Structure 1
Amino acid sequence: MPDDLLEFVSGPPGYSAVWLWLGLALILAVIIWYAAVFVATLPSHRLRTIPAVRNLHARVLRHRFTRTVRRITDSHRRGELSDTAAGAALARTLRSFLHQATGRRAQYMQLRTVADGELAAAAPVLSALGDAQFNRASATDVDQLGEQTEELIRSWP
């Protein structure tokens, strides 16, 4: 090995090669950090198009919204939310999840439009949540609807 290359790899006399490798590792860590922050702050519609990130994004979304549904259901069970408020919160959470997961603006779609399109699997749950939210005489079990909403989000493709 030429002396110049040997000196570059091992460092100048009196310096350990560990410092070179440590510096390179720190530079690599900073690059990875910036890339992670860049990807984490991309909007959902962009994340759904990146093949390497698509599956991770879907798992994170499912986990985040499942946790939110569980919190709403637990609040209802403790009596902190009425049936109407819990139904509204669950419907809002499910519609937000559908928007983030598919890009369809489910928050603004009528139930008939949801049932006729690619979100049809969510229509029965949204219908029951609407009944719990708007029909005070409804005998709908909101805790069971919370479990159904959680299962729908967990199993969404």
Structure 2
Amino acid sequence: MPDDLLEFVSGPPGYSPVWLWLGLALVLAVIIWYAVVFVATLPSHRLRAIPAVRHVHARVLRHRFLRSVRRITDSHRRGELSDPEAGAALARALRSFLHQATGRRAQYMQLRAVADGELAAAAPVLSALGDAQFNRASTTDLDRLGRQTEELIRSWP
């Protein structure tokens, strides 16, 4: 092996080749870090279009909104939220999830439009949540609605 090539691979006399590999590892770590930050900050509609990221995005989204629904349900159980407040918070969380998961602007859709479109599976839960939110005489069980909301988010395609 020529002396120049040997010196390049092993480094100048007195330096360990570990420094070369450590430097390369650090450069690679920085490149990976920038790639992760770039992907993590993309909007949902772009993440849904990238095949390699689509499943991870869906799993993270489900986890985030399931945690939110559990917090709302727990707050209602502790008495921190009234029935109408908990119904509104659950409906807002579910509609936000549907928007992030599908790109449909579910926050602004009327219940009839939800029931007639691709979000039809969410219509019964949204209807019950609306009843809990706006009907003072409602006897809706918000713990059951919280579980139904969780199940809908967990099983969303």
Q: TM-score range by the shorter chain?
A: over 0.9
Q: How does 1:106-117 map to 2 (within 5 A)?
A: 106-117=106-117
* Aligned residue type for 1:26: L
Deviation at residue 4 of structure 1 after TM alignment = 1.6
Deviation at residue 3 of structure 1 after TM alignment = 1.9
Deviation at residue 6 of structure 1 after TM alignment = 1.4
Q: Structure 1: which 5+ residue stretches go unaligned?
A: none
* Aligned residue type for 1:138: S
For 2:79 and 2:50, locate their aligned partners in 1 and report how far apart those are by CA, in whole Å: 42
Aligned counterpart, 1:34: 34
Q: Structure 2: which 5+ residue stretches go unaligned?
A: none
- Identical amino acids, percent of aligned pairs: 90
Q: Does 1:76 align with 2:76?
A: yes
Q: Does 1:52 align with 2:52?
A: yes
For 1:39 and 1:126, locate their aligned partners in 2 and report how far apart those are by CA, in whole Å: 32
TM-score by length of 1: 0.99
User: Helix, strand or coil: the match of 1:12?
Assistant: coil
Q: For residues 37-60 of structure 1, what are the alpha-carbon distances to aligned partners after superposition, in whole Å with 9 as ceiling and x for unaligned?
A: 011110001000011110000000
TM-score by length of 2: 0.99
For 1:87 and 1:143, locate their aligned partners in 2 and report how far apart those are by CA, in whole Å: 10
Aligned length, in residue pairs: 157
User: Helix, strand or coil: the match of 1:104?
Assistant: coil
User: Helix, strand or coil: the match of 1:118?
Assistant: coil
For 1:3 and 1:103, locate their aligned partners in 2 and report how far apart those are by CA, in whole Å: 61
Q: For residues 75-128 of structure 1, what are the alpha-carbon distances to aligned partners after superposition, in whole Å with 9 as ceiling and x for unaligned?
A: 000000000000000000000000000000000000010011110110000000
